[in-house]
Structure formats: structure tokens, C-alpha cells
Chains A and B, each alone.
Chain A
């Protein structure tokens, strides 16, 4: 059978589409491209012609930037926070979301509502008291403490996503496991948790990205510059060296590189995770 295709638009429309997509792609890449090109120039070259390619690539700018933002230290600090936060969010919200989804009754319903309710509260409404609580608990200034706070901020959405996903898992498996003599924790960790892995991937992606790119909470929590995350170290450059654009641009490129590389490597699952999270959340 012949299928009827959409009527072919005139050539003009097709050309228009290509043109618009190209222009938007150029707009997207422009600041990054400008950043990369000028990060390899001398200050004089930047002043002289901002569009020209560097005569000799000044990799020294990157060395300077590397030292100025303490790249490795800042990177390790950031990774530590993300690992603590993501691990806690995945583990605790999987447990809670699964159990709440499987338990009927008013208490379970209320608890679920309590988690979901907060998803509208803006961070600014809690940040002031949060700094006080962190001070009281003695975790202000600590990277692990920052990760722990992220757990609290991240579990509502995690619980919500795991709660929804658990519904799609048949109960026979856990019933069989219980008949075989498994305890509830064993059932969860051995049987259920592996079955949740596709939603776990989504939860990991969404939360890792959020923490990696979050600025305000670390700004409030980390006071000692040795504990600064990548973003805080980069932010430090401004106001002090604003006229040395070459090494600042090099620092900006360094700071955005890890996330962009990860994106290029895991693009498919990242995009899927993010769009799934948005549609379900």
C-alpha cells in the first residue's frame, strides 16, 4: 500500500528551516567559541582583534587559570559533594518511594503528600533558616555536610519518581521472594532495587547535574576557599582580575569542560533522563 506523505513544502520553506536552525546553532555556539578562541590569545591580541585566531596558541593561559582556580582541588571538592548527595538521594528516596507506593492507607498517603508538597517551595524561602540549622549542626563549611543538605533538598523529587515507577513493577516477584524466606530489606535490595535501575539512572542524572551547577547553596555553606567547588573558585576570579580576560576565559572553559565532556559521552541517557524527569515530575 502506498502511504500518503505530508505535502512537500516549497523549496523556500525548506531553505528557511535550514537557515533558522543554522542561525540558532550559531547563536548557541558563539559565546563558547569566542571564549575558546580568546582564551588562547595574549591580552594584546584580544584588544587588537577579538575575532582573529591566535597567532600562537597561548596554552600558558590555561596553566595560569589552572592554578588560579585550583582546578584539581576544586574538581575533587565538587565531585565529593555530588557523590555524597547523589548516593543519599538514590538510596533513601528509592527505599521511601518504593515502600510508600506499596503500602495502602492514610499514613502512607499523608507521608507521600508531605514529600510532594515541598516541591513548590522556592529555595530562597528556606535558605536563611537553613544556614542557621547548618551552623547549629556544625556542618557549615564542610563538603560532606553540603552533600547531606543536598540529600534533604533532593529526596522529595526522588521519592516522587520512585513512587511512580514502582507501580509498574509486578508484585509477584517480591511475593515469591518473601515465600522463599527473604526479609523485607533483602527483598528490596536484592529484588526490587535492581528492577528500578532505569529510573535510578534518571534520578542520578537529574541530581548530579543540579548539584554540579548549583551555585547559591555552596556560596552560603562553604566559607573556606580550600573547600570551594569549581563554580565558587571560578566566581572568585571576578572582581579581582576582570581585565585579564585571557586567563579568565581559560578558567571558564576549564570550569565548563567536565560537564560538557560528560554530556557528549552520555548524551543519550542524559537527554532521556532529563526529559523523563520533566514529564513525570
Chain B
């Protein structure tokens, strides 16, 4: 009876996740190009090529890593900060949550296009007709600024989601614990640092995990906002793999090797993160 209940889920899961995942790994060891029905095993040479000889791939790795670091720090800090501020309010909590969370409902494809309008038309206009001269940058065209454009739009889309998680965690902190701290003479910062923070640390683990996972795989924002350009200056790993497989030379085997490398990195880093933060949870 167990199998009868599990089978439907298992069939779909096997067909569209398990087999493709195993197949992807298998093809990463071949020189398959997607069009040619025949292919041969090439061992690890795809991996060697990607990691030693593929300048654009390595650059996209570096760019993605830089993006991930910025997102993990900024997104969690801003979300936690906003959550604390929102919770400190008596009125308007629901309205603020509605506004902050709204971008999360919008596809980042749409969000990216809307921001493209802001970056390419609105900000230059503001710079020209106001004192905000610093806004007059080539936000999309200059890689130094388009990195920040991508970060800003990603934060716009992602902060509200984490804030909701942190608000829920803050509401779970018993008020009498904080009161006890205040009676003992703690100020607001100390109460936060020594009472609230340890209590909400498990949700911080979740928040960092979610951010790591989503920002390593970032695709939509970059696709809609810069398309990876100018040139390939803002190309992220996901976009590099996508172009390798479907846009340029259909090197499916080679692109699969890159995807496997991405998987290994995401897996390794998130496991280390979970391990470290889970241990801290116990200590705090």
C-alpha cells in the first residue's frame, strides 16, 4: 500500500528530476552537442576546460560569488533591521508589511524591466533636473554600476520575504524575557543582542540559507535588467550555462559539466553554512 500511495509522486519526480539530474551528470562526462545523436566519453576534460580554460565561465563564477556575498549580508541585515522597526510600531504594521512584501509577488523578469526604465530614463532625468547629480551614471551600461543595479533590484525583490520571516520570529520572543532584561538595566541594544538575537537565531539560519540558495542561482534579474552585458561583464553562472547550452553552440555535455560545478559549489557552501549556524544556535 505504501508504494501505491507514493508511486504517482515518485513517477513524476523520477521522470523530471532524478533522471535529468543523473543524466546531467552523465552527459557532463561526454562531448555531446545536442544535435548529433552520437557522442563519446571524454572523462573529466569538460571540467578541466571549464575550470582552467574558460575565461567567461570563471569570470561569471567570480561575479556570482561577489553578488552572493553582497546579497547574504545586505539582504539579511536590511530585512532584520526593517523587521525590528516594523515590530516596534504600534500602528501601521499590516500596511508596511503589505508594501514591503509586494515586490515578492512580482516576477523578477517584470521587476527587472520596470527597474530598467527607472535606471535608464528616470534616474538620468532626476540627475539632470535636481541636485542629485550622483544619479547620473550609466547604470546599465557600465559594469561598475550595473553590478549595483542588479544588487538593488534583487534587494527590492527579496527583502520583504525575509522580513516576513524575521517578523514572525520576533513575535515568537516572549515579552517577559525582554522585560526582565530591562529590569536588570539593559538598554535596547543589549536586550536585542543578548535576548532577542539568540531567540531568533534559528530563523537567521533559514534566512541566510534562503539567500545563499537563491542568489547562487540568480537568473531572472540579470536576464531582464542587463542581459549579462555590457558584453559579458555581468554574466552570472546560471546565464553562462544557459547560453552555453541553448544560445551559442549547444555544447550540452560541456554546459552540463558547468551545471554540475555550480551544484557542487551551492551544495558545499550551504552545507557548511547550515553546519556552522546550527552549532552557533546551540551555543547562543
Contact = CB atoms under 8 A, between A and B. Distances in A.
Contacts of B259: 122, 124-125, 127-128
A111 to B, nearest CB: 6
A238 interface: yes
B182 to A, nearest CB: 6
Contact of B2 (A7, A99, A130): A99
A264 B23 contact: no
B162 to A, nearest CB: 9
Contact of B156 (A27, A103, A129, A148): A27
Interface of B: 1-2, 5-6, 8-10, 12-21, 23-24, 27, 81-82, 85-86, 88-89, 96-111, 113-115, 117-118, 121-122, 125-126, 156, 160-161, 164-165, 168, 178-179, 182-183, 187-188, 191, 203, 206, 210, 213, 216-217, 219-220, 223-224, 237-238, 241-242, 245-246, 252, 255-256, 259-260, 262-263, 266-267, 270
Contacts of A88: 12
A121 B266 CA distance: 9
Nearest to B256: A128
Given A132-B23, A215-B220, 13 more contacts: A17-B88, A29-B99, A31-B156, A35-B114, A111-B10, A120-B213, A122-B263, A124-B259, A125-B24, A128-B259, A132-B252, A249-B117, A279-B165
Contacts of A9: 188
Chain A, interface SS category: helix
Contacts of B23: 129, 132-133
B44 to A, nearest CB: 17
A278 interface: yes
A201 interface: no
A46 B121 contact: yes
A34 B115 CA distance: 9
A256 interface: yes
B17 A209 contact: no
A272 to B, nearest CB: 9
A228 B260 CA distance: 30
Given A98-B5, A279-B203, A152 B260 contact: no
Interface string A201-223: 00000000100111110001000
A160 to B, nearest CB: 11
A82 to B, nearest CB: 13
Contacts of A91: 8
Contact of A115 (B9, B24, B118): B9
